[in-house]
Amino acid sequence: MHAQTAPRPLAFSAGGPLRGTVTVPGDKSISHRALMFSGLAVGESRIEGLLEGEDVLATAAAMRAMGCDIERTGPGSWRVHGVGVGGLLQPQAALEMGNSGTSTRLLMGLIASHPITAAFTGDASLSKRPMGRVIEPLSRMGADFTASPGGRLPLMERGLCPAVPIEYRLPVASAQVKSAVLLAGLNTPGTTRVIEPVPTRDHSERMLRGFGAALSVEETAEGRVIAITGEAELQPQQIVVPGDPSSAGFWMVAASIVPGSAITIANVCMNPTRTGLITALRMMGADIAEANARTVGGEPVADLVVRHAPLRAIEVPPDLAPSMIDEYPILFVAAAMAQGRTMARGAEELRVKESDRIDAMAAVLDVLGVAYQPFEDGLAIEGRGGDRFAGGGTVTTHLDHRIAMSAAIAGLAANAPVTVDDVSPVATSYPDFLATLDALREGRDEGA
């Protein structure tokens, strides 16, 4: 993982307009779940368009270690022979999660209701992230945890079978915590319920239904109630993974802030729980059109056509936070170029991501020469009104892929080059990011 490799610094500087058509990697959230749920089905599933970044490969390795037969048959094409719900085997060694919080939290849910014990380890960045929010509900279902201080990795989990169904109200909007409880419920007799006061991404619900789980979603006065009936039998599926809206966000902002740009981003997942960045950018005046809207594997998908447009400052609605939590770093770059003062609050979750993304992006704004005011839950940013950033400094990424890519995009609109201290973390979610950027700068379609 990154911690052991030598840093790869790289400078990014302004050039001509960005042109062409790109495809972004398969959606990371959907890729993780496609592997896990296929591994719990009885029979053979096939997956196309899987994101082959390091995070998703950590999920594949963990499912393999617990008895699933998983084989890559070509670029993005995978075959999974599942063991059935309840059929996971005791892994013989620790499950190495690398940098992937999603793999860790969802697999903790899966294992909670299986009669097996597993150790989880991760890289330096993941080992700082809190797992207590998942440990708490899973312990109520009967799983037993021995974690490092502060509820962190490395940790040991002992599942209970049969586990105890619970009703759990999410104290913090988190699709990962919700999914962990639902996955534990898959092999738990009776009905497990999660109450979600604020809706979060619903890929687990859509895909579990597609695999044949008995799952219902009800809107109530308390929020959304998701109920899953356990001891499910999942049916194998053919899954096509749509493009990741979080990865698409970098190109949406790049085309918006580099004059003369016009790009098409093909096959983007348009799930309404994931399109907060598109909503925010359109409020700022971004020119983003949808073409060829369709449904693939229960998920809405479209091609996005983005052209350069002058952006204006907004107050980002806090209720957009759950649907764009991963996109705040690149939104901050758009705000830095806009006319006026953008206020983005309600995103305290950013403090516990791969890095403290509020502090990390404030340091990027320093390099760009953009004034800002930090808050515990976000930033107020004084935009440049379309004038190029100053640039000329080095950004510290803290091994965070989204900080690295956001700083790279900012460099495309800076007077002096912006140096990213290490571009290697980009491989966790977007292995082809640099190649795609080169293609757009040369005005050719990716891969052409």
pLDDT of 140-194, one tens digit each? 999 999 999 999 999 999 999 999 999 999 998 899 999 999 999 999 999 999 9
Pick 403 or 199 by higher pLDDT.
Answer: 403
Cite the active site residues.
326
Please state the rounded mean pLDDT for residues 238-262: 96
> Coil, strand, or helix at residue 439?
helix
* pTM of the entire predicted model: 0.82
Q: How confident is the model at residue 2 (pLDDT cuts 50, 70, 90)?
A: very low
272-327 pLDDT tens trace:
989 999 999 999 999 999 999 998 877 899 999 999 999 999 999 988 988 888 99
d(CA 322, CA 274): 8
The pLDDT of residue 198 is 87
92 is in an annotated binding site: no
Query: Is a pLDDT exceeding 60 seen at residue 3?
Result: no
Across the chain, mean pLDDT equals 95
201 annotated binding-site participant: no
At the top level of CATH, the class of 2-26+242-441 is: alpha beta
Q: What percent of the chain has pLDDT over 90?
A: 88
CATH 3.65.10.10 is the classification of domain 28-240: yes
Is 176 among the annotated ligand-binding positions?
A: yes
373 among the known binding-site residues? Answer: no
353 marked ligand binding residue: yes
pLDDT at 447 over 80: no
Q: Is the bond preceding 154 in cis, omega lying within 30 degrees of 0?
A: yes
Does the annotation list 212 as a binding residue? no
C-alpha–C-alpha distance, residues 395 and 223, integer Å: 41
Question: Are 59 and 103 a contacting pair, CB within 8 Å?
Answer: yes
What residue ranges in 135-176 does DSSP mark as E strands? 144-148, 152-158, 167-169
The answer on pLDDT for 70 being more than 50 is yes
CATH 3.65.10.10 residue ranges of the chain are: 2-26+242-441, 28-240
User: Does 8 belong to an annotated binding site?
Assistant: no
Q: Please tell me whether 356 is known to bind a ligand.
A: no
Q: With contact defined as beta carbons under 8 Å apart, do 9 and 425 qualify?
A: no
Instruction: Please state whether beta strands 299-307 and 262-269 pair in parallel, antiparallel, or not at all (unpaired).
Output: antiparallel
pLDDT band at 348 (very low <50, low <70, confident <90, very high): confident
Number of other CB atoms surrounding residue 393 within 10 Å:
17
- Residue 4 predicted with pLDDT over 60: no
Kindly tell me if the per-residue pLDDT of 412 is higher than 50. yes
Neighbours of 361 (CB within 10 A): 31
In angstroms, rounded to a whole number, what is the distance separating the alpha carbons of residues 193 and 300?
A: 26
Determine the Cα–Cα distance for residues 77 and 26; give it in Å rounded to an integer. Answer: 11
With 70 as the cut, is the pLDDT of residue 104 above it? yes
Chain-centre distance for alpha carbon 66? 24
